[in-house]
Amino acid sequence: MMDLLLQIWGGLFYLANKILFAVAEGRREPTKKQLRLSGWIIYIFGVPAWVMVLAGEHNWIAASIQAGCVPSMLLGAYNTYHDHKKIHKLFNKIVTLCTYTSLAFGVSYSIHQYGGITSISQILEVGIMLGFLLGSYYMAKNHRAGWLLFALMNLSMAALMLLQAKPILMGQQLVSLGFVIYGFIQSRSLKPQQS
């Protein structure tokens, strides 16, 4: 029962994040800013459930990414609030340190526990890691490449959840993928690419 509750909790907040980001792409300011800001913040509320689900399955790489993502989400909210015009160097450095420390811990622990990268679940976790870290980075910088990297993350996480019999989270990842594709298409049709 607890596993089901965690799937619903984590999945709903994550899906709300992707819906808000995707819908924001088709809106004008200030609505677009408000939707993106809400998207960055709402994700944080689902993080505890995701960490519990992933750690419970010994998905240490993915769990560490989720745990370490909160500073990145706050940076995305900060950048959105300030329209990407007010760079906070210390905040950026703290986010980078948190991200890499969390990542190093998760990868090291996973390699130690499994004796290397030896399982399909670990390979999928690497796809999740690359898609999430780079996708969040590009989204925080308001760059559309973030959408494509989020697609890699969604596909990798959906496959991992399928392997580990988490149907709600697998379905949520596939629905999220639809919103990621929509967001990418909207971002391409509405504005020239920013660097």
| Nearest partner of 104 among 49, 57, 67, judged by Cα | 67
CA 68 to each of CA 109, 118, 125: distance values in angstroms, whole numbers, following the listed order: 15, 24, 15
pLDDT of 1 strictly over 90 = no
Angle between the N-to-C axes of helices 70-81 and 31-56, in degrees from 0 to 180, rounded to the nearest 10: 180
Q: What is the mean pLDDT of residues 170-194?
A: 86
Tell how far CA 57 is from the center of its chain. 19
Q: In this predicted structure, what is the pLDDT of residue 158?
A: 97
- pLDDT bucket at 191, cuts 50 / 70 / 90: low
What number is the average pLDDT over the span 109-129? 93
Give a yes or no: residue 36 inside a domain.
Answer: yes
Which structural domain, as residue segments, surrounds residue 184?
2-190
Q: CB of 110 within 8 A of CB of 146?
A: no
* Domain-located, residue 18: yes
- Indicate whether 6 belongs to any domain: yes
Tokens representing 162 are 């399928």
pTM over the 0.85 mark: no
Q: pLDDT (tens digit, 9 = 90+) per residue, 125-159?
A: 999 988 988 887 788 777 899 999 999 999 999 99
**Backbone phi, psi, residue 141, to 5°:** -90, 5
Q: Is residue 58 part of a domain?
A: yes
Residue 73 pLDDT class (50, 70, 90 cuts)? confident
Decide if 195 is inside a domain: no
Take residue 7 and report the two structure tokens written for it.
């799937």
Number of domains in the chain: 1
Q: Is residue 101 part of a domain?
A: yes
Asked if residue 190 has pLDDT above 80, the reply is no
